[in-house]
Each structure stands twice: as structure tokens, then as C-alpha cells.
Amino acid sequence: MPVSPVVLGVIVLVYLMIVFYCGWIAYKRTREVDDYMLAGRKVHPYILALSYGATFISTSAIVGFGGVSATLGMGTLWLVFMNIVVGIFVAFVLFGSRTRRIGVNLGAVTFPELLGKRFNSKFIQGFSGTLIGVFMPLYAGIVLIGGARFMETSLGINYDVAVFILTIIVAAYVITGGLLAVMYTDAMQGTLMLGGMTVLLILTYVNLGGITQAHQALTDMASMIPAGLAAGGHTGWTSMPAFGTPIWWTMVSTIILGVGIGVLAQPQLAVRFMTVDSKKSLNRAVFAGGPFILMMAGVAYIVGALSNVYFLDTQGQIALDVAGGNMDRIIPEYINSATPDLFVAIFMVTLLAAAMSTLSSQYHTMGTAIGHDFYKEFLKGGRSGKTISVTRLGIAVTIILSVILAYMLPISIIARGTAIFFGLCAAAFLPAYAGALFWPRMTREGAIASLLAGTFSSLFWLTFVHAKEAAPLGISKAIFGTETLLTGTWTVVDPILVATPIAAITAVLVSLATRPMPEEHLDKCYRGCIKR
């Protein structure tokens, strides 16, 4: 029996009341710029871990990559491994501690400002802020799509209305409460997400007769792979694609490496390292962050793949066919078909939490990039005293952009769009970010050259070589008469494998060819760090 509108309304109302209560507490505690930008630099390790995890794992992971697993198989579990090792351990223990210390030493309150002050360059801060403000709305639009698609299928409401509702709710507490509101609500939403995904995993195995039976049934379905996927290298839902095939390159370069490495250079995640008061807090956060990522991403990918067994048993079709060829609809269709109605209502709140936790962080990061990094520091040379007001305006503008994109983007875009943004951040920011933290010999000129080389080589590859984007864009076709400038395997190699090495090599060569930065500046940057 479907859950009554009254019960559903009560569940959503209680959830929203808790969200707004968290936002109100943060608003009352937000008095200074550091409070709005960095949550006062006194965040508890548990709040940090869940906020980081909830921001990282959004509807793009649950709905988008869950749909990819349903289509391409459990090879996506290698991404979970990368998420934990790189996204949690390396990020917190290696990158996090130095980010926090150097951020404090230089008085940086945003990710672009950290880079700008480390290399003593307004251009780096302004360009980085612009890059975030221009391209992060794509990622935010994708997260909106994930949440709205589930609301559409579970509540039967219009997709456009669902996008509007999600946007209004998130905007209300991000604009008023800043990063403190974002992290408080993230922690609450992360706890809710963890509970929802745990129950989903249990229900899935119960429905399919247990762990062993479920996975064996999925293995036995290898003969049902659609001809088009089999021709591309798909060998089964419990095995990796055939080595060197187009699907293998997509799985490894775009999904596993693109997102697995790109996480290190995500501005909305890196800034969280500057919100705690000590390295000890970062180390403690690892013990909460690792299990959280394992349960969130791991469950989504496992359930996505196993949905094929459920749909074969109940409808005689694989998941992709049930969803009408749209990967982004597979997880919503599975939840609505395979779980009790009360859980559907509760899980809708779980996905709302996943969407809202990531959106809030994205909007805050985009707003600070525009208001603080681009407007105040780059355009006004640090003279403007209206940082918070302009930041709030920046948040409002980027919210509008993300909503427009959520209405315009094509189907099955969530996972691919996420990988595009993560890969772009890796190419643009990662070499300069790593150099800023670990290589004092890296110069201003080397960082600028790396930033430009990574950005434009990544965009060039997306526009003219990588077939998934180049063909739909049509720019290469219009200019050169061919959908891609290169052919064969190159068209399925993700930009991260080309642009990031170009940026790194550029950083090293230009830095070695230019004058080192003043020793007194480096001493200030690395004060309190382990010997360079």
C-alpha cells in the first residue's frame, strides 16, 4: 500500500525542520568572515569527516554511478578503493595537514586564495576563482538532476518542479549561514545517508536470496549483455571489461582514475581541511570518513549492478532496458520497485540529503570564488569590505546557472558530467596544489603556466578528441569536418590522462627555468611544517 501523502509530508517536514534548525544555529554563530568562509576553523573531526563525505558522495554517486554499475558492472568498485585510499587517506593525512597549516600561515580562507598567496599571485587566485565559478555550475546542475529524478519517479511530480524545490531549500540556508551552516547540515545529512544506504543493502540481499545467490545470479547473466555493449568490451556485470576496449578505457580512465584522482583537487573538499584546529583532528577524521565512503559508494555500486538480477526476475529485462536506456533512472526505478513504500519515502529523504549536502558545498564554493577570490582580491585588489554580501550574490547567480543547466542537460549525463568536472579540476589545479604544499622550488611562473596548460589542454581534449563530448558539441565537426581530430583509442582516453601530465611537466620545467621565490616568503608559508 503506497504511503499516504500525509505520512510522506510529515517525513519531509521533519527532515526540513532539522535542516533549517542546523542552518539557524550556524547563522547565529556566523559573525566574522572566517565564520562564513571557514566555519571559524574549529570544526569537530566527526563533523569534518561527515561533511567531507556527504559533499563528496552525492546523488551523482548514488544515482549516476549506481546507474553506471547497473550498465557496465562491478568494475566500478575499483573507484570505491580509489575513493578511500586517495580521497580519504592521501587527502586527509598528506594533503590535508599541509593545507591546514599553510592556510593558517597565510591567512587563506578559500582554495584559490591558498594557491594565490602561496605563489604570491593575484592572477592565480582570480583565474582559479573564475574557473570554479564558470564550470562548477555544471557539477551542481548534475547533482540537481539526480535528486530531481528520484523525486520525479517516487512522488510522481513534474521534474522541473522538483528541481525548483531542491534549489530553494538549499539556497535558503547556504546564503544565510555560510560554511558553518553547510557543515552542520552536511553532518546531519551524512548520518541520514549512512542509515539509508545500510538498509538498502540489507533489503537488496534479502530480495535476491542472500549474498552468494545474488552475486552468482548476476555472474550467470553474462550472456544477456546487449550486443552494443558486448562489442565495446563488456564481458559481464561481475568482471572488468576486456583490456584495451572502449568500455575498458571509459571504466579505467574516466570513471576510476578521472574521479579517483580528481578528488584531490576539488575546491569544495580541499577547503574543509582549513576548518579544523589541528593535524590531530584531520587524522581522527580518517576513521569516520573511510567507512562512510565505503558504505555510501560501495553500496550504491553493488546495488546498481544487482538491480539487473531483480529486474530480470520480476520483469524479464535488464536494468538499462527497464529504465528506457537512461542510466540516471535505474536506481530510482529500482528503489521504487524493489523496496517497501515506507522505505521509498524515507530513502527519498536520504537522496534529498545527498543532493543538498553536495549542492550546499558547491554553492558556497562558487559564491566565495566569485565574491572573495575574483571580485575582492582580483578586481579590487583586496580593498572591498563587502566580501560576504558579494559572496551571497555570487551564490545566487551560480544557483540560477545550475538550475538552467539541470533543465538543459541530456539524459544519462550524471556520471559523465561528474567525471568531466573532476578531471578538469585535476588537470587545472592538482600539479599547482601539490607543488604549493610539497615543493618549495615551484615558482609563481611555474604555477601559472601549469594552471593554464592544464585548463586549456583539458578543454581542448574534451572539445576536439574525447568522442563522448566532442561529437555532441560538434565544434570539431564544424571547424575540421571530422567529429574528432584523432581516431582509434585516443577518442576514449579521458582528458585527465593527457592534460594532468602536461600540466605537471609544465610546472616542473617552468619552475626550474625561473627564479625561486624569496626564502622569507617560503619560510612564512611552511612555518610549522615538516622540514622541506
pLDDT, tens digit, 9 for 90 and up, residues 378-403: 777 666 556 667 777 777 788 788 88
* Residue 105 pLDDT > 80: yes
Measuring CA to CA, which residue among 297, 308, 150 is closest to residue 229?
308
Give the DSSP per-residue string, 453-515.
Answer: HHHHHHHHHHHHT-HHHHHHH-HHHHHHSSS-SS-GGGGGS-THHHHHHHHHHHHHHHHHHSP
The predicted-structure confidence for 250-261, as pLDDT tens digits, reads as follows 999 999 998 899
pLDDT of residue 38: 46
Instruction: Out of 43-47, 157-161, 310-314, 409-413, give the one with best mean pLDDT.
Output: 310-314
The structure's pTM equals 0.85
* pLDDT (tens digit per residue) in 406-464: 777 766 677 778 888 889 999 999 999 999 999 999 999 999 999 999 999 999 999 99
Average pLDDT over residues 30-45: 54
Cα distance between residue 249 and residue 263, in whole Å? 19
Give the per-residue pLDDT at 181. Answer: 59
Q: What are 20's three cell numbers?
A: 533549517
Cell of 349: 529523504
Which residues fall within 8 angstroms of residue 382, CB to CB, at 6 or more apart?
Answer: 376
In the structure grid, which three cell numbers stand for residue 377, read together?
Answer: 582580491
Q: Which of 13-22, 27-36, 43-52, 58-67 has the lowest mean pLDDT?
A: 27-36
Query: What's the CA gap between 190 and 180, in Å, rounded?
Result: 15
Tell me the one-letter amino acid at 134: V
Identify which has the larger pLDDT, 522 or 184.
522
**Measured between alpha carbons, how far is 54 from 39 in angstroms, rounded to an integer?**
17
Single-letter residue type at 333 = E
Q: Name the grid cell of 359.
A: 549542492
In percent, the amount of the chain with pLDDT more than 90 equals: 42
Distance from C-alpha of 169 to C-alpha of 391, rounded to nearest angstrom: 18
Closest by CA position to 157, among listed 144, 166, 148: 148
**Average pLDDT for residues 33-48, to the nearest whole number?**
58
Give the up-direction half-sphere exposure of residue 86: CA atoms within 13 A in the CB hemisphere.
20
pLDDT class of 39 with cuts at 50, 70, 90: very low
DSSP 317: S
Q: How far apart are the first and last CA of the chain?
A: 65
Instruction: Find which of 88-102, 230-244, 289-303 is predicted with most confidence, using mean pLDDT.
Output: 230-244
pLDDT at 350 over 60: yes
Residue type at position 10: V
Domains of the chain: 5-422 (1.20.1730.10)
Condensed to tens digits (0 to 9), the pLDDT of residues 262-276 reads 889 998 888 878 777
Residue 186 and residue 357 in contact, taking contact as beta carbons nearer than 8 Å: yes
CA 470/CA 497 separation, integer angstroms: 17
Per-residue pLDDT averaged across 334-353, rounded? 81
Which of 72-76, 191-195, 249-253, 528-532 comes out lowest in average pLDDT? 528-532
Give the per-residue pLDDT at 173.
54
SS (H, E, C) 43-74: CCHHHHHHHHHHHHCCHHHHHHHHHHHHHHCH
182-216 pLDDT, tens digit per residue, is 666 667 777 788 888 899 999 999 999 999 999 99
Whether the predicted pLDDT of 37 surpasses 50:
no
Amino acid 230 reads A
pLDDT band with cut points at 50, 70 and 90 for residue 69: very high
User: Lowest-confidence range among 28-32, 60-64, 229-233?
Assistant: 28-32
Q: Does pLDDT of 242 surpass 90?
A: yes
